[in-house]
């Protein structure tokens, strides 16, 4: 694979402060956030950081641009550097149902499609202009072999995501729409400023009209 | 820790066929199923199997016996050797909501409580006489240090569980109760013979009466 030379005036702190011999990835990429995220859970050596940089590529998405459309195979897992993406399905009546919102420092992708290489059931669209760092299945498998401690990082990551999903399932089973809305704004206060009411309603499993009623009721408290 | 001597007439295939120097755990324990489960994803050495055996303990649960009650801290993760357990919450009106059923070769526990050592929101009860192999957080943390490749096993395990949960969330958002019932019996046909209609209804988020109507409708096809 051809590698471009990283320009001398790069603002990548890894290059500037660490004086590391980094193999520049295909695109000029600031992987600091990703490396910091890994480093919350595992310690990486200079060589390992270099390898990670060589296996990820950066992509920009404009607002409303799709990262994935249903029936496509999800070929990459994506770490969100900046922006916000929504994963949703469309039912047989044309209604949209939101599975997840993902913002900076989160990962997104359709894990089932990524792992099985089968067509996805989901669409993933940028709700804002977004910058992501992507890795293919082949490169991630290579990374697990070369840097086995990344198993730990991804084990911890998916454990947290699993627990969050579990809370959502039990809330769906046991709580009223109002309770679920209050839990949502408590857990994700910043989402209210960034995500439309229509999309939040489709996450909570209610209509936008009903969400509007709930908001009015809650604001009167 | 005191170790009992494993009796010569043990039927543990690891001991009989492999002629391994196994340190007998506190209780006489057949860990074959657990080791086989690990071995689907990772290769274990004799020493590693020995360590695993020393860190798990076996427990028998009678039908209706509780593995965990809400407000207790979930101190162990449990691999089910035989039997069936149900994880559920009870809402403020006294209604039960089933989060999971788990049968042989599955794991159970409240992961959030186990990780954070905070009181659990859930009850876990045996629906049948069950045999489980349990590990404490301290011992599991030790195991991750001593046998890092177990990170991979648990990463793959939790990935699969995550994807299954994701499908349940999107089904809850987008499907009718009838569609969810049909998806349930397709995914878990054996559960229909083992688990009461009342508990299946509480998993699907419908009343037992409504489930009974659905079953009659489906059986007429």
Residue in chain B closest to A109 (alpha carbons) equals B163
Kindly identify which residue of chain B lies nearest to residue A175, measuring between CA atoms. Answer: B91
ipTM of the complex: 0.86
Q: Nearest residue of B to residue A205 by CA position? A: B173
Give the pLDDT score at B218.
Answer: 84
Phi-psi region of A11 (alpha: psi -120 to 50; beta: other; left: phi over 0): alpha
pLDDT, residue B15, reads 35
Q: Which residue of chain A is at minimal alpha-carbon distance from B160?
A: A112
pTM: 0.86
pLDDT at A131 (0 to 100): 96
Helix or strand or coil: residue A11?
coil
Give the Cα-Cα-Cα angle B34, B35, B39 (nearest 5 degrees). Answer: 120
Alpha-carbon gap, residue A216 to B38, rounded angstroms: 52
According to the model, what pLDDT value does residue A220 have?
79
Nearest neighbour of B158 by CB, restricted to A144, A158, A175: A158
Instruction: Give the distance from residue A30's alpha carbon to the nearest chain B alpha carbon, in angstroms.
Output: 27
Q: Quick one: which H or E segment has residue A142?
A: helix A137-146
Cβ–Cβ of A162/B163 closer than 8 Å?
no
From the list B97, B159, B174, which residue is nearest A97 (CB)? B174
Measured distance CA(A184)–CA(A165) in Å, rounded: 12
CA–CA separation, A99 and A116 (whole Å): 19
pLDDT digits over B157-216, tens only?
999 999 999 999 999 999 999 999 999 999 999 999 999 999 999 999 999 999 999 999
pLDDT at site A28: 54
Find the helix packing angle between B137-146 and B150-174, rounded to 10°: 120
Contact B62, B129 (CB under 8 A): yes
Residue of chain B with shortest Cα separation from A111 = B163
Question: Which of A115, A152, A169 lies closest to B168 in CB terms?
Answer: A169
Nearest to A161 among B99, B162, B202 (CB): B162
Task: Give pLDDT, residue B185.
Answer: 93
Residue A89's pLDDT is 98
Contacts of B170 in chain A (CB under 8 A): 89, 97, 99, 121
Distance CA A112, CA A119 (A): 9
Contact A148 B152 (CB under 8 A): yes
Whether residues B111 and A159 touch (CB distance < 8 A) is answered with yes
From B148's Cα to the closest Cα of chain A, the distance in A is 8
For an interface test with A, give the residue of B159, B171, B176 to mutate (most A CBs within 10 A). Answer: B159
Is the dihedral angle over the CA atoms B137, B141, B142, B146 positive or is it negative?
positive
Nearest to B166 among A98, A165, A202 (CB): A165
- Considering only the beta carbons, identify the residue of A111, A144, A168 that sits closest to B169: A168
Rounded distance between C-alpha atoms, residue B176 and residue B155, angstroms: 32
- Beta-carbon contacts of B82 under 8 Å, excluding residues fewer than 6 positions away, are B104, B130, B131
**pLDDT, tens only, A100-118:** 999 999 999 999 999 999 9
Shortest distance between the Cα of A13 and any Cα of chain B, in A, equals 30
- Chain B residues at the A interface, defined by Cβ less than 8 Å, are 89, 91, 95, 97-99, 111-112, 115, 121, 144, 148-149, 151-152, 154-155, 158-159, 161-163, 165-170, 172-175, 202, 205
Using 50 as the pLDDT threshold, list the residues of chain A that sit under it: 1-26
Helix/strand/coil for A102: strand
Low-confidence ranges of chain B (pLDDT < 70): 1-29, 221
């Amino acid at each position: 694979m051809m590698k471009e030379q990283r320009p001398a005036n790069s603002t990548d702190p890894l290059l500037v402060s660490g004086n590391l011999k980094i193999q520049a990835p295909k695109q000029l990429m600031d992987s600091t956030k990703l490396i910091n995220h890994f480093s919350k859970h595992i310690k990486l050596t200079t060589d390992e950081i270099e390898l990670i940089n060589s296996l990820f590529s950066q992509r920009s998405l404009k607002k409303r641009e799709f990262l994935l459309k249903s029936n496509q195979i999800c070929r990459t897992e994506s770490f969100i550097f900046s922006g916000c993406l929504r994963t949703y399905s469309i039912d047989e009546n044309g209604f949209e149902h939101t599975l997840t919102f993902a913002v900076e420092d989160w990962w997104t992708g359709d894990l089932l499609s990524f792992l099985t290489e089968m067509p996805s059931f989901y669409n993933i669209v940028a709700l804002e202009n977004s910058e992501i760092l992507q890795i293919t299945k082949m490169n991630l498998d290579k990374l697990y072999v070369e840097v086995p401690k990344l198993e730990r990082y991804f084990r911890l990551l998916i454990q947290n995501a699993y627990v969050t999903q579990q809370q959502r399932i039990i809330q769906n089973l046991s709580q009223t729409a109002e309770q679920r809305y209050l839990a949502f704004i408590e857990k994700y206060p910043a989402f209210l400023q960034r995500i439309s009411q229509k999309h939040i309603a489709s996450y909570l499993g209610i209509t936008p009209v009903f969400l509007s009623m709930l908001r009015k009721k809650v604001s009167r408290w």
